[in-house]
Amino acid sequence: MIIIDSTQDFNSLAQDCKSSDIVLIPIPSDHSSHPRCSNITGIYISTLNNMHNYYISVKHEESLHNFTLEQIIGVIDTPHKKYVPDIKEFMHNFNIKNLECCNSMAYYHSGKKIEQEYTKAHSKLYSMYWNRKNVNEIIPIYKHIEYCQELDKKIRAIIDVQPTDDSGYIKMLNFMKSLSKIESSGLNTPEGLEYSYYNPFTMTGRPSNTFNKINYAALNKADGTRNKYISRFNSGGILELDYDAYHLRIIADIIGYKLPDSSVHEYLGKQYFATDNLTEKQYSESKQISFQILYGGIPKEFLEIPFFNKVNKFIYNFWQEWRLKNHYKTYLYNRKVYKSVIGEMNPQKLFNYYIQSAETELNSESMERVIKVLEKYKSKFILYTYDSFTFDFNMSEGKELILKIKNAMKYPTRVSFGSNYGDLKDVSSKFS
């Protein structure tokens, strides 16, 4: 183990990085802050070809020689692969190429991310100095090394058995990069930016999004909670595009059924009520009926509707395959979801899990396209919530950009706009 405290040691690290894939484990100054907001106190680096291990300090009380992030990036940014525990977090502090995400790799193949266990010293000092923002700068360097070496073993065990060229894993890797970019945009408030934090390593792959006790995936619409989220632009507002009848459209694609581009709820409602002219009440009831059928099971009387008849056949066949194999493959990533991970199922619950994972995987591709669109614009992609994408929109970029975003999202969407996140008004008619 080489603790780098001289130019000679630094040059040795540089030579090793030029000739080998490496494992990178950054240590933030503050373990409890959002990765976007925390500085780096040090970085553990191990080379895969000759098993050399290094620790280099950026800012630490014990360090004899601190190095800048720019100096370190200049050494590690090579054509070789860099294996990091979590690419989403890593990208908040490092802009380098050829990254591999070991959490994604582990999750893709086993359904579980890497367990990162702190030393007893870390746990004790985190508890003692819970309100200190740079506690990792006073924890002994050798304890950081101890933590990193244990994590390095787990990372190497994954690298040894899991390929990095699987198309499904690559898609998940790109999803993680997209989530990192959305997090980095932040949500503007009168007090400054807040940062959401996505966790995609859930049972279904649908990310949770909670940080600092705020659930950004379920911000209350009725109590004013959303009102504080405002535009950072002098001439700006909050733009939201949400998918119309998203799950119904996803299911239709999966089973090979053509739904109209117009209102799906109207299309199905006419069949529920056997009429060509739905009343406003019937239209509203149609939505409820569809949700009940999809998430609670299909009653016999609805099997006469061609769409649900086909859905029912899919659920039956899907269930039989699950019972035979004890796993299913997700829609786009072909990620195996094992019974040992998600537990006991029934046909409807299993189907709901599958649709949630399909929703997420389709969203991941839409997010990539949207982020690509936004590269040349000032408007920011600030929040992703299951069936909706939310933006801090610069009004000077106009209708043209909104139409580009709509096209990138693939499925039909509604458009809402307001001065804050709690005051969104439907303006879809302007973009039909």
Distances (CA, A) of 137 to 29, 34, 57, 62: 6, 16, 10, 8
Residue 379 near residue 199 (C-beta atoms within 8 A): no
Q: Which tens digits make up the pLDDT trace of 87-122?
A: 999 999 999 999 999 999 999 999 999 999 999 999
Residue 366: count of CB within 10 angstroms of its CB: 20
DSSP states along 12-76? HHHHHHHSS-EEEEEEES-TTS-TTT--EEEEEEEETTT--EEEEESS-TT-SS---HHHHHHHH
Find the mean pLDDT for residues 299-307. Answer: 93
Whether residues 81 and 116 fall in one domain? yes
Instruction: Return d(Cα 238, Cα 188) in angstroms, integer.
Output: 10
Residue 81 has pLDDT above 80, yes or no: yes
Whether residues 172 and 73 fall in one domain? no
Q: Which tens digits make up the pLDDT trace of 352-396?
A: 999 999 999 999 999 999 999 999 999 999 999 999 999 999 999
Position 313: which residue type?
A: K
Report the candidate in 125, 121, 129 with the shortest Cα–Cα distance to residue 147: 121
Among 112, 143, 164, residue at a domain's last position: 164
Whether residues 346 and 381 fall in one domain? yes
**CATH assignment at residue 252:** 3.30.70.370
Distances (CA, A) of 68 to 57, 59, 152, 230: 9, 9, 23, 35
Residue 161 has pLDDT above 90, yes or no: no
Among 164, 182, 216, residue at a domain's last position: 164
Whether residues 172 and 132 fall in one domain? no
pLDDT for 262: 86
Whether residues 71 and 150 fall in one domain? yes
pLDDT for 160: 86
Residue 163 has pLDDT above 80, yes or no: no
Is residue 336 within a helix (H) or strand (E), and if so which, with residue range? strand 336-338
Find the mean pLDDT for residues 134-150. Answer: 96
Whether residues 174 and 308 fall in one domain? yes
Q: Pull the structure tokens for residue 332.
A: 């786009």
**CATH assignment at residue 78:** 3.30.420.10
DSSP-derived 3-state class of residue 86: coil
Among 164, 196, 224, residue at a domain's last position: 164
Whether residues 154 and 194 fall in one domain? no
Mean per-residue pLDDT of the chain? 95
DSSP states along 349-391? HHHHHHHHHHHHHHHHHHHHHHHHHHTTSS-EEEEEETTEEEE
Tell me which residue has tokens 């199922």.
Answer: 345
pLDDT for 289: 93
Whether residues 159 and 226 fall in one domain? no
pLDDT for 50: 82
Whether residues 155 and 178 fall in one domain? no
Q: Which tens digits make up the pLDDT trace of 251-272?
A: 999 999 999 988 999 999 999 9
DSSP-derived 3-state class of residue 427: coil
pLDDT for 359: 97
Is residue 294 within a helix (H) or strand (E), and if so which, with residue range? helix 280-296
Whether residues 423 and 386 fall in one domain? yes
- Structurally, how many domains does the chain consist of? 2
Q: Which tens digits make up the pLDDT trace of 6-22?
A: 999 999 999 999 999 99
Provide, rounded to the nearest whole percent, the portion of the chain with pLDDT above 70: 100
Q: Which tens digits make up the pLDDT trace of 210-266?
A: 999 999 999 999 999 999 999 999 999 999 999 999 999 999 999 999 999 889 999
DSSP-derived 3-state class of residue 122: helix
Tell me which residue has tokens 């020689």.
Answer: 65
Give the list of residues 6+ apart from residue 280 with CB closer than 8 angstroms, or none.
none
Q: Which domain holds residue 406?
A: 166-432
DSSP-derived 3-state class of residue 4: strand
Whether residues 132 and 250 fall in one domain? no
pLDDT for 365: 97
pLDDT for 103: 97
On the CB side of 318, CA atoms within 13 Å amount to 24
Instruction: Return d(Cα 414, Cα 430) in angstroms, integer.
Output: 10
Whether residues 160 and 170 fall in one domain? no
Position 240: which residue type?
A: E
Position 104: which residue type?
A: S
pTM (2 decimals)? 0.95
